[in-house]
Structure 1
């Protein structure tokens, strides 16, 4: 289980997250939903342990082990991964090298081909292409999804996975989310769009770095529609409570 216990985070300018308690249990598909600027992506960065996203209070547990002080690399080795809202470019690195971590992973060519086909990329056209500016953001996002299929992490944080892709690609994302769940992984979707919510079963509604509510996805979605979409004061919950 992945767990946040009383996690708070702040920059030099302001506090972003407030006393978060969250649990991500294998066997479920999760969504963290809220309007833009609510602090959702920051939750993903804190979980992943990015260098400038260390909580000043609370701790993060993975399988009952305190990982709060571990680096990104150490957390990745334990099975955590983050799919970025804006995927990175790697000039001079082919897609095949990217998917095999520069040849460090022993992966059969057939597996590489299958992973690219799964995300709608023609292996003949893409295996030897470079992960650089010649690829669109949507193509790079598909390459990231292919890497998830190959690496099979325990916990996959998908930060706004629909950003920069066409509507048809939403089906591919849902297929990957299902695949993660089928191999025993736990997908965590971070989003502000309803389209990305329906393929999950448990959710957290975030506003101004606080949890307004959590529970079954259908209930969280109703609250999101009835609270956030009509709120006259975006990201400023009244005493941390739902309006």
Structure 2
């Protein structure tokens, strides 16, 4: 498969603190790629840097390339026009917009848009169409609506930051099926998670720790490395090995 997204030796320093320390990553067109790692590993920072949000438009060193175009310095709307989108771990509220309007705006360039189907795929029924995307929805409901908007949009690459966050009552199987549906409909998925159960749905997985890539391989191999390495991690838990 051809690479859709390439991260070349990306380093990021914020206030003299190194956050990303030479990250290399290739996401192939048409795959589900999981980035697995403990909290604080730099996963969400990398996602923000790829999307250009949170004032992270370019790395301190290195390049991020999407469809052969260098993203460094581009605005978020320019990246979105190229076919990139990101589902935040904590989804936003949109006062005065109904769920139906939100999904139709998201899917305005999708000629096959079916808003009811998008809701059903994330475990919501058509009664939500008239609800507003505001504080009347729970965090879990907003997260599902946001994921439905990704299905409506059909971007070339969707970055899902902790897709299971806030939706504990949805089974792992439901989440996995939704992500597979995204891929079946032409969306490459880059999934950020700290749970190896979620990473199992991926075609390939990358383990990150302390701002670095530790290993890339099959989800099973990377999941096993995550479980064995992160239990007694010298970086995250120095007290377990006699550090300070």
TM over 0.5: yes
How many Å separate the matches in 1 of 2:113 and 2:54?
36
Give the aligned partner of residue 86 of structure 1.
90
- Is the 2:49–2:59 Cα contact (8 Å) retained in structure 1? yes
SS of residue matched to 2:77: helix
Return closer, same or farther for 1:81/1:106 CA change in 2, 3 Å cut-off: closer
Give the aligned partner of residue 206 of structure 2.
204
How many Å separate the matches in 1 of 2:113 and 2:228?
48
Deviations along 1:67-108, whole A, 9 cap, x unmatched?
212111111111111111010011111111211228x92778
Structure 1 residue 110 displacement after superposition = 7.4
Give the aligned partner of residue 163 of structure 1.
165
How many Å separate the matches in 1 of 2:166 and 2:89?
9
- Is the 1:119–1:172 Cα contact (8 Å) retained in structure 2? yes
Alignment length, in residue pairs? 234
- Aligned-residue Cα RMSD (Å) equals 2.0
Among 152, 155, 161, the alignment partner of 2:154 is: 152
How many Å separate the matches in 2 of 1:107 and 1:67?
24
Q: Which runs of 5+ in 1 are unaligned?
A: 237-243
SS of residue matched to 2:96: strand
- Is the 1:9–1:15 Cα contact (8 Å) retained in structure 2? yes
How many Å separate the matches in 2 of 1:171 and 1:193?
14
Structure 1 residue 179 displacement after superposition = 1.0
Give the aligned partner of residue 242 of structure 2.
none
Give the aligned partner of residue 180 of structure 2.
178
- Is the 2:109–2:153 Cα contact (8 Å) retained in structure 1? no
The answer as to 2:132 corresponding to 1:130 is yes
Give the aligned partner of residue 187 of structure 1.
189
TM normalised by structure 1 equals 0.90
Q: Which runs of 5+ in 2 are unaligned?
A: 239-244
Return closer, same or farther for 1:52/1:202 CA change in 2, 3 Å cut-off: same
SS of residue matched to 2:114: helix
